[in-house]
Amino acid sequence: MIDQDVLERVLASAVSSGADFAEVYAEDKRSTSAGLDDRRVEQVTNGRDRGAGIRVVSGDTTGFAYTSDLGEDGLRRAAEVAAAAARGGGGGVRRIALDPSPAHRPNDVAHPPDTIDKSRKVELLTRMDDAARTTGAEVVQVSAGYGDSTKRVLVANTDGVLTNDEIVRTLVRVSVVADGDAGMQTGYQSMGRTVGFEVFDEVEVEELARDAARQAITKLRARPAPSGTMPVVIERGTGGVLFHEACGHGLEADHILKGASVYAGKVGEQVANPLVTLVDDGTMPGEWGTLGFDDEGHLTQRNVLIEDGILTDYMWDFLRARKEGRPQSGNGRRQSYQHLPMVRMTNTFVLDGPDDPADIISSTARGVYVAHLGGGSVNTATGDFVFGMTEAYLIENGEITEPLRDGNLIGNGPKVLQDIDMLGNDFAMGNPGTCGKDGQGVPVGDGQPTLRVKALTVGGTAS
């Protein structure tokens, strides 16, 4: 994308006024998306996003500028703006010698999206539409989407790092509306992987569509969710967002260093039930949060955050690790070249526990069974977090009974981690997610076995 000698000159000019670190992050992304709604393929879109962000650090101050001009002049102008913002103490000429890292891909891509005819991508949409509509006469509306992107990324910095990566993403999603006597209901399914079109050899898109339709139809006879605090069982592969919110964000080093997390100063302490081992792993082949290198050119890795309930470490990016004089953990990420990197999760999941999932349900006298979760959010400083349930059922006398209408659940992270009293042995990864933080969205994965929280507050309207 940019020649090595150009990068070396741009980086040298960025630190010529005395800054201690400079970095170029360049991307060239081509994407295709297609949308179907109301029985019509509304449009196919092609996009091209290309540019570089330049970061210059002096002490605790970061200057940042970006440009869509990847020529040497454009890069130098951006470097000047970024350097002016991070004025260093002295001046002087530093020679920058980059040391290119060998390519590193967590997984192969058999059929890159740009080699696939667009008509085959569009066909997935009509297949989902047909499958959803034939699931039941109650289905009144279907919207389906397809998206792929191929993003080439280059990171170079004054520490000599030079990495090149190519990230391929393929995603489908389907939303269904069903109509009945008590009004409309909705269902949703999605699938996203960091692989190419070969994913559709394994994944049958009709199945996703039928599942979304089934959710919507089932909820037509749903009753209002209960109101109050009770045991909540969360189905495998759907509740990763619980950990993402209950503790994941609170274990990001930027919140820790500002004293804005309930988990600050707790390394080595028992922060969760001993059943819980929580891992963030950016190396898992094909998963939605997987990267070869993070967005600061650091190899992604597997980080154990909580082991048998004991907090072992936080997640780190370049700046926070440098401040603490410790290694980065491969968690420096950004939405695009127009954004500064910060500490972010990759694929965050809880390992298997000892329990048979059937026992978890049968040993719950009364509670809620959550089969499908929506999004969530957390206040890291208080630990209070919410997440939505989009398919849930009552548990009565150890059995799953009636479907419930949508609602939020609320809990406090440190307390909920202690309150996980049963953990299944049926681990599964969940749906592709987008994690929002400080205005930036990045793709993340999550996963967990079926589990029970002995007390969570369910935000329904029924007594």
* Residues 291-310 interacting with other proteins (rule: CB under 8 A): none
Taking the complex as a whole, the smallest distance from the CB of residue 31 to other proteins amounts, in Å, to 9
Q: Does 71 bind other proteins (CB under 8 A)?
A: no
Burial class of residue 202 in the structure, from the number of CB atoms within 10 Å of its CB (0-12 exposed, 13-18 middle, 19+ buried): exposed
Q: Which residues in the 432-451 window bind other proteins by CB under 8 A?
A: none
* Alpha carbon distances (Å) from 69 to 66, 122, 243: 9, 33, 40
Look-up of token digits 């039928």: 210
| CB 332, CB 295: distance < 8 Å | yes
Name the β-bridge partners of 408: 388
Taking the complex as a whole, the smallest distance from the CB of residue 293 to other proteins amounts, in Å, to 22
Q: Does 22 bind other proteins (CB under 8 A)?
A: no
Taking the complex as a whole, the smallest distance from the CB of residue 273 to other proteins amounts, in Å, to 19
Q: What is the 3-state secondary structure (H, E, C) of 283-318?
A: CCCCCCCCCCECCCCCECCEEEEEECCEECCCECCH
Taking the complex as a whole, the smallest distance from the CB of residue 101 to other proteins amounts, in Å, to 26
Taking the complex as a whole, the smallest distance from the CB of residue 307 to other proteins amounts, in Å, to 23
Other residues' Cβ atoms within 10 Å of the Cβ of residue 354: 11
Distance CA 382, CA 290 (A): 29
Among 110, 115, 221, 258, binds other proteins (CB under 8 A): 258
Taking the complex as a whole, the smallest distance from the CB of residue 326 to other proteins amounts, in Å, to 20
Distance CA 75, CA 28 (A): 15
Q: Where are the beta strands (DSSP E) in 59-104?
A: 61-67, 99-100
Taking the CA atoms of 172, 448, 212 and 181 in sequence, report the sign of the dihedral they define.
Answer: negative
Q: Does 74 bind other proteins (CB under 8 A)?
A: no
Among 25, 263, 318, 387, binds other proteins (CB under 8 A): 387
Considering beta carbons, is residue 118 or 326 the nearer one to other proteins? 118
Q: Does 377 bind other proteins (CB under 8 A)?
A: yes
Taking the complex as a whole, the smallest distance from the CB of residue 103 to other proteins amounts, in Å, to 26
Among 115, 134, 362, 382, binds other proteins (CB under 8 A): 382
Q: Which residues in the 162-181 window bind other proteins by CB under 8 A?
A: 177, 179
Q: Does 81 bind other proteins (CB under 8 A)?
A: yes
Pull the structure tokens for residue 453: 């929280």
Q: Which residues in the 195-254 window bind other proteins by CB under 8 A?
A: 219, 225, 227-229
Q: Does 65 bind other proteins (CB under 8 A)?
A: yes
Q: Which stretch binds other proteins (CB under 8 A): 40-48, 103-111, 149-157, 361-369?
A: 40-48
Q: Which residues in the 329-368 window bind other proteins by CB under 8 A?
A: 338, 340
One DSSP character per residue, 14-40 reads HTTTS-SEEEEEEEEEEEEEEEEETTE
Among 140, 304, 358, 365, binds other proteins (CB under 8 A): 140
Pull the structure tokens for residue 282: 């950016």
